[in-house]
Chains A and B, each alone.
Chain A
Amino acid sequence: MTTLRLFAIEARHNAALLLVPVILVFAWYMLDSQLWEPYLWSSTNELLRKSVAPLAAPAIAGAGAWMAGRDRRRSVSDLLATTPLPAARRHLTLVSATTAWALLGYLIVAGYMFVRTAPNATWDGPEMWPIATAVAAVMAHGVWGYLAGYRIPSRFTAPVVAIVAFVVQLYLSGSMTVQTDGTQTSTWLARLAVSDFTPRVAAWQALLYAGLAAVALAALWLLVRRDLLRGLLLAGAVTSVVTGVVMVWAGTPRWDYANNRLVDGWGNTIAAEEYVAPEPVCHGEEVVVCVHPQFQPWLDRAVTDAEYLVAPLQGLPGITSPVECRNIGFAIGRDDGSRVVVDGCVDQLVADEPTLGQYGRIENNAQQAIRVWLLTRIGGHTMCGMSFDHGDPAMGFPSAATCEAGERFARLPESEQRAWLEAHFGDLRAGTLTLADLP
């Protein structure tokens, strides 16, 4: 009862209380600017991991440091020293009250985001390990900040601690390595960041942060009074941290180029089944669209848009029936509203696969001109106007002449368009036409 009442007083007069509206306002901004319909668990989980947790953790480290220095700033140390309640218990109450506010703010945001997402999302669910990691990380940051503030009770300690914590998280999360094929992948250090979620090591990541919190607590208790029990607690906590770091390192998958396989830190092969993509969901009769199951609510719209795209090409040589429209995308945005993006399907319609360039893009100018026409017709993004005079076909940018040809084709009557397509579509797909062959 005494502890509860102390907790209530400390919580009511805590600097961390100010963090709650900051976290809520920031989260509201993130929600408003990044979380739109359709609500996807992938977006929600990523927002929580990469935006809310990395903000809350360093902020609470600063608040912890500030609260720890309070007694010396206020010259209450003498008075407190004469009270019988163990100092460790008082510190624990204060640091708990401090971190509780950040946890509350974080959990309110997480709960709200889950409630918004759950009724609408069609695939996957909330990532619970990142929640556990974030909770442990907030506690760890709070206690480490408190420890720093206790040792160095300066007014500058709090901002310095918050900035250092933020920079450390930023450094960890940005830790990349360049593979032999030129691609960049996250190193195992990145898996230590609170913003990361790798299912294989998620539990160890949470253990690491819980261990870090315990290390700081044990260190604080040892500073107040040294005894064997507190020493053992510190040893146990350090063991948890070391175990967490080693297991995150070991569990992070890496590519073994010599043997062309995915391995863990011990060199054990990681079964490919761990990374099987989810079964796509398909719909449509004349035009079939297959999408990731999380986009299922938009499947009907995708089929309708794809049918409109394919309509002028139906029955032409090379256009199968039904057409399986691949590479359908979804643009999720607030200002223009969310929409289906069928642009990716255009390339497969106007070009045989062998004619595509190095990066899988159309490089033939005639094919690009017809692509411009089709995209203009459906209101897609032609990339005309973004190009240099001569364009960059390898990167998908049409030249000015190509755009002009596509727009000229678009102005033709539908009957003339159809007649030309029936006569030349096979050659167009084979990549043997030039801009001069277009009407």
Chain B
Amino acid sequence: MVTNATLSVDARGLTQRLGRTTILNGVDLQISGGVFGLLGPNGAGKTTLLRTFATVLSPASGDLRLLGYDPRRGAERTAIRRRLGYLPQHLGYYPGFTVFEFVEYFALLKEMPSAAVRPAVARAIERVGLADRAKSKLKTLSGGMLRRVGIAQAIVNDPDLLLLDEPTAGLDPEQRVLFRALLREIGQTGTVIISTHLIEDVAAACNRVALLDGGRIVFRGTPDDLSSFAEGGVGDSALERGYTRVLAGARG
């Protein structure tokens, strides 16, 4: 478990490039415990940042430590991955697998102890409200249900660092409310980082937030801190107004 004294994510001067294009430009971010919201417009670099935290991409430059380990080193990267949960923006899946098999498959790939796998899978499926569809093939599920399957595979190993890219996309309002409660529950014991466009998700579930624009962090603080910039901003809520105001300020 990650204690408050331990940083789950410690990124300093993190840079990521795609060809000659710089996607992340000197990102400094320290995250420890709770639910962390990553906000930003399309193309800001949120997904790239999450993929880097998920060890899919290796940093082009800068320092990065995840759960105290250096993801560039093979053995340490493996240690990170054992304690990691990740839901990509576009969840790929095997249509012929059942819900249980898909979650079990990733539980096994996460090297969970054999005896713990089946109970953990059942619990994860239960937590996302799909217990009654455990034996359904994935190809028979709706988009929202598939999203919940993706969340189930991400949380099956009770990760210390949970990375969720647009997790609520496709969820109906009731499921979104349940999901936020789940995030808060996981945030009690570990670190959750969610990348989202939905300000209300951040307002309801996150205790810390960062705003990314053009590959740089332009704001760091609590949702209340972001709301305090509301004056002069555009939006329906104080948080939205704070968001647009900070973004406008960052762009000069």
Which of these binds chain B: A73-81, A112-120, A189-197, A251-259? A73-81
A180 CA / B109 CA spacing, docked (Å)? 62
By CB atoms of chain A within 10 A, which of B54, B94, B101 has the most?
A: B94
Which of these binds chain B: A5-13, A169-177, A239-247, A285-293? A5-13
Give every chain A residue within 8 A of B79 (Cβ-Cβ): 84
A71 CA / B94 CA spacing, docked (Å)? 8
* Interface residue? B90 (CB, 8 A): yes
A84 CA / B91 CA spacing, docked (Å)? 19
Q: Is the interface of A mostly helix, strand, loop or mixed?
A: helix
With A5-B114, A5-B117, A9-B105 as contacts: A82 and B93 at CB distance below 8 Å? no
Count how many chain A residues have C-beta atoms less than 8 Å from C-beta atoms of the other chain: 22
A292 CA / B190 CA spacing, docked (Å)? 79
Further pairs besides A74-B94, A76-B93: 5, Cβ < 8 Å: A76-B92, A77-B92, A79-B92, A82-B55, A83-B81
Closest Cβ of chain B to A33, distance in Å, is 35
Contact status A13-B55, CB under 8 Å = no
* Interface residue? B108 (CB, 8 A): yes
Q: Given A5, A79, A85, which contacts B111 in the complex, CB threshold below 8 Å? A: A85
Contact status A82-B114, CB under 8 Å = no
Give every chain A residue within 8 A of B78 (Cβ-Cβ): 84
A9 CA / B101 CA spacing, docked (Å)? 7
Closest Cβ of chain A to B117, distance in Å, is 7
Give every chain A residue within 8 A of B101 (Cβ-Cβ): 9, 12-13
For B94, the closest partner residue in chain A by CB is A74
Residues 161-195 of chain A, each 1 if its beta carbon lies under 8 Å from chain B, else 0: 00000000000000000000000000000000000
For B87, the closest partner residue in chain A by CB is A79
* Interface residue? B96 (CB, 8 A): yes
Give every chain A residue within 8 A of B94 (Cβ-Cβ): 13, 70, 74, 76
With A2-B108, A5-B104, A90-B109 as contacts: A82 and B84 at CB distance below 8 Å? yes
* Interface residue? B56 (CB, 8 A): yes
Which B residues fall within an 8 A CB radius of A? Answer: 51, 54-56, 78-79, 81-82, 84, 86, 88, 90-97, 101, 104-106, 108-111, 114, 117, 153
Give every chain B residue within 8 A of A2 (Cβ-Cβ): 108, 111, 114, 117
Give every chain A residue within 8 A of B92 (Cβ-Cβ): 71, 74-79
Which A residues fall within an 8 A CB radius of B? Answer: 1-2, 5-6, 9, 12-13, 70-71, 74-85, 90
Give every chain B residue within 8 A of A80 (Cβ-Cβ): 109
Q: Given B54, B110, B117, which contacts A85 in the complex, CB threshold below 8 Å? A: B110
By CB atoms of chain B within 10 A, which of A2, A9, A79 has the most?
A: A79
Contact status B90-A75, CB under 8 Å = yes
For A13, the closest partner residue in chain B by CB is B96
Q: Given A5, A13, A74, A79, which contacts B106 in the complex, CB threshold below 8 Å? A: A79
Give every chain A residue within 8 A of B106 (Cβ-Cβ): 79, 83
A74 CA / B118 CA spacing, docked (Å)? 25
Contact status B105-A6, CB under 8 Å = yes
Contact status B97-A13, CB under 8 Å = yes
Q: List 27 A-B contacts (CB under 8 A).
A: A2-B117, A5-B104, A5-B108, A5-B114, A5-B117, A9-B105, A9-B108, A12-B101, A13-B94, A70-B94, A71-B92, A74-B95, A75-B92, A77-B92, A78-B54, A79-B88, A79-B153, A80-B109, A81-B55, A82-B56, A83-B81, A83-B106, A84-B78, A84-B79, A84-B82, A84-B109, A84-B111
Give every chain A residue within 8 A of B88 (Cβ-Cβ): 78-79
Give every chain B residue within 8 A of A77 (Cβ-Cβ): 92
Give every chain A residue within 8 A of B104 (Cβ-Cβ): 5, 9
Give every chain A residue within 8 A of B108 (Cβ-Cβ): 2, 5-6, 9, 85
A5 CA / B103 CA spacing, docked (Å)? 13
Give every chain A residue within 8 A of B81 (Cβ-Cβ): 82-84
Closest Cβ of chain B to A379, distance in Å, is 59
A81 CA / B56 CA spacing, docked (Å)? 6
Contact status B86-A82, CB under 8 Å = yes
Contact status A84-B110, CB under 8 Å = yes
Q: Given A13, A78, A83, which contacts B109 in the complex, CB threshold below 8 Å? A: A83
A1 CA / B117 CA spacing, docked (Å)? 11
A79 CA / B110 CA spacing, docked (Å)? 11
A9 CA / B78 CA spacing, docked (Å)? 23
Report, nearest first, the 6 A-B pairs whose CB atoms are least far apart.
A75-B92, A83-B109, A76-B92, A84-B81, A1-B114, A82-B86
